[in-house]
Amino acid sequence: MAMRRRTLLKVIVLGDSGVGKTSLMNQYVHKKFSQQYKATIGADFVTKELQIEDRLVTLQIWDTAGQERFQSLGVAFYRGADCCVLVYDVNVMKSFDSLDNWHDEFLKQANPTDPRTFPFMLLGNKIDIDGGNSRVVSEKKAKDWCASKGNIPYFETSAKEDINVDAAFLSISKSALANELEQDIMVLLAQKGVWFSSALQIQTFISLAILRHSCDLYILL
**Dist. CA 71–CA 105, nearest whole Å:** 8
**pLDDT on residue 186:** 55
**pLDDT on residue 204:** 60
**pLDDT on residue 77:** 80
**pLDDT on residue 203:** 58
**pLDDT on residue 216:** 46
Task: Map residue 74 onto helix, strand or coil.
Answer: coil
Q: Of 201, 210, 208, nearest to 182 (Cα)?
A: 210
Q: Are 62 and 43 in contact (CB under 8 A)?
A: yes
**pLDDT on residue 210:** 53
**Dist. CA 56–CA 39, nearest whole Å:** 32
- Where in the chain is CATH 3.40.50.300? 5-178
Q: Which residues of 115-124 are buried (b: 16+ CB within 10 A; e: fewer)?
A: eeebbbbbbb
**Dist. CA 212–CA 29, nearest whole Å:** 31
**pLDDT on residue 36:** 62
**Dist. CA 167–CA 165, nearest whole Å:** 5
Q: How far is CA 124 from CA 19, 49, 62, 108, 134, in A?
A: 9, 24, 18, 23, 13
**Dist. CA 130–CA 114, nearest whole Å:** 40
**Dist. CA 130–CA 198, nearest whole Å:** 51
* CATH class of the domain defined by 5-178: alpha beta
**pLDDT on residue 221:** 46
**pLDDT on residue 74:** 66
In tens digits, the chain (221 residues) has pLDDT values of 444 577 899 999 999 989 999 999 999 999 988 776 565 555 678 999 999 988 899 999 998 765 444 455 567 788 899 999 999 999 999 999 999 999 999 999 899 988 988 999 999 999 999 998 999 999 999 999 999 999 999 999 999 999 999 999 999 999 998 887 766 555 555 555 555 555 555 556 555 555 555 444 444 44
What are the φ and ψ backbone dihedral angles of 61, each rounded to 5 degrees? -100, 115
In the chain the first and final C-alpha atoms are separated, in Å, by: 27
**pLDDT on residue 119:** 96
Torsion 157-162-168-171 (CA) sign:
negative
Q: Which residues have CB under 8 Å from 74's CB, separation 6+?
A: 109
